[in-house]
Structure 1
Amino acid sequence: MEVVFYIVPSIMIAVVLVGVAAVVRKALRINQAWNGTTAEGRCLRMFTTTSGGGGDTSVSTTLHHVYEFTTRDGRAVRFEEKNGSATVLDGDITTVWYVPDRPERATAQAPARGRLMAGTGCALVFLGGFAAGLVAAMVQFSQHF
């Protein structure tokens, strides 16, 4: 029975590590796009999705945009991005940043490296603290039993 107190936190730590990898991968992808090239894009569609609201939980709304742009070699690319600017509406022209060999990983978020670093750092500190708490709980349990 004691092994459960090691297995469950270990699985949770593994999930935290997957989260860390996702946070870092997203930050690197956006930074690479900002270091790439730009194109003129058009917002084709803006929509929202909601989650939560069951029972006494709060509702969360996510804003999505679908953009289309043409790369320098003439290829039309369409991509969707979450949490974009609420001031961008259907039909608006916007600047799109992308890496020429991976244009499907484009972003319409204006470069804000400080904000990207701060957000990534906060997420990593939170996830690291959670993992450290799990390790501390496992150590505490091992000392008592």
Structure 2
Amino acid sequence: MELFFYAIPTLMITGCGFAAYLLVRRARRLSRTWAHGLTAEARCLRMFTTTSGGGGDTSVRTTVHHVYEFATREGRTVRFEEEDGPTTVLEGDLVTVRYLPEQPQRATALPPSRGRLAFTTGFGLTFLGVVVTFCVGFIAVAHMIFSESGGLMP
């Protein structure tokens, strides 16, 4: 039983660490693409939405997806999907995309917005930090309870 009070928070801390890694990696990739990427004209091939959440008492989140296709400067045709793009871009629209020559499949049609990227990344990291702090506190309190009771729950 004691293991439960250590294992679950430790797994949550590990998950938060991985989520933080993904947040920072995405922010660095977008920032580098905006700063050093090449531009190309792309066509929106498809626009669709997905929903998550159960409805009823829980909130439903709708995510907009776009599928774009463009040609690199070398003439290679690249198709990619991007989430959370503008809802004003519809199928058939032409947009400017930015891509790194070594990773054209990681292109983005999002316009450069360093402030928004910093805010959303910072907010996400802060939230994950709060969760980790709670888990560490939970483990510390559980440890105190178990050490005072001789390893048995009171």
**TM category, shorter:** over 0.9
Structure 1 outlier segments of 4+, above 4 Å: none
2:13 maps to which residue? 13
Q: How does 1:37-48 map to 2 (within 5 A)?
A: 37-48=38-49
The alignment yields a C-alpha RMSD, in angstroms, of 1.2
What is the deviation of 1:56? 3.4
Q: Secondary structure at the match of 2:85?
A: coil
Aligned counterparts of 2:70 and 2:55: Cα–Cα separation in 1: 38
Larger Rg: 2
Q: Secondary structure at the match of 2:75?
A: coil
Aligned residue pairs, count: 145
TM-score by length of 2: 0.89
Q: Secondary structure at the match of 1:3?
A: helix
Mean alpha-carbon deviation: is it higher for 41-50 or for 51-60? Answer: 51-60
1:3 maps to which residue? 3
Q: Secondary structure at the match of 1:87?
A: coil
Identity %: 54
Aligned counterparts of 1:66 and 1:97: Cα–Cα separation in 2: 14
**What residue ranges of structure 2 are gaps of 5+ in the alignment?**
147-154
Matched, 1:67 2:55: no
TM-score by length of 1: 0.95
Write out per-residue CA displacement over residues 65-110 of structure 1, whole angstroms, 9 at most, x where no aligned residue: 0001111111110000001001111111111011011000000000
